[in-house]
Structure formats: C-alpha cells, structure tokens
Amino acid sequence: MAVYLFSQDDIQRVFDCALLDVLPDMGLTSHDVAWPNVNFDPSPDRGYLRPFILPGTPQQATLGYPCFIRMSGIYQISIYRPKGEGLAAAREWKNILLSAFFTGRVLVDGDQQVIIDNAYSGSVQQEEDRMVIPISVSYYCYAPQQPD
C-alpha cells in the first residue's frame, strides 16, 4: 500500500487552521465550530459552523517511483443560523467565508501547498430549528509518495 508524505488528514488540518484565522471576522471563536468527532451542543439562539472534508480519489500525477499523487476534494463549511432570524447574518458569514477561501488561494504547510480550485455556496436549506447554507471549497494538491 502506498504511503504519501501529505494526507487528507493533513489537508483538513491546513483548512481548519485557515478557518480559525477567519473566525474573529465573523464574531466567532473555536467554540462556535462543530469540529469533527468533538462533542458539540449548539445554543439554540446562536449560529455556528460545521466543517468537514470530502476527499476525492487520489490519482497518479507523474510516472516513475516514487511518484506524485494528485489529491483533491471538497472542504465544506456548513453555516447554521437560528430559524426565524432572516438571511442577513447568514449572508454576511457566507461572504466572509467565500472571501477567505477564494479561487486561486494557496494554503501552505511547510513545503506542501493546497490550492483552492473554486469556492461556492449552495442554496439555503431549512431544518427544524435552523437554516443551513453549505459553502463548498474545492481543492487539489500534489503529494509525494514515500519511498520504500
């Protein structure tokens, strides 16, 4: 089984760090984010974010051994706002996130780069007590294969 020197877990960490940088612009802290596999009990009268990664299938990008693998996927940030408060605050958060994760931005971790291919928002979805706007950030990077 091939081992890569940069993994989807590393990519999620890079995106999570970039998200932490933008939280103050939204009036949020890390406690207002439902991080994966961390207990979270949202306040019914406060908005929050839920980020997660949807990895794509790695593809061999170069010939030879060791090779480079093109890793791609979507980093999704779901915006949750209380039901009945209107769309203004949710749109403000959406615009802040889209500005932070703009097309062409390069996120750097040491000598590894993750390139944002595109960022876009989905339509508003209504849940029982909240509304949700998904923000999808498509990305790619080239990860070197670890030699045996």
How confident is the model over 106-146, as pLDDT tens digits? 999 888 899 999 999 999 898 888 999 999 999 999 887 76
Q: Indicate the pTM of the whole model.
A: 0.89
Q: What is the DSSP string of the chain?
A: ---BSS-HHHHHHHHHHHHHHHGGGGT--GGGB--TTS-----TTS-EEEEEEEE---EE-SSSSS-EEEEEEEEEEEEEEETTS-SHHHHHHHHHHHHHT-TT-EEEETTEEEEEEEEEE---EE-SSEEEEEEEEEEEEEEEBPP-
At residue 5, the pLDDT reads 67
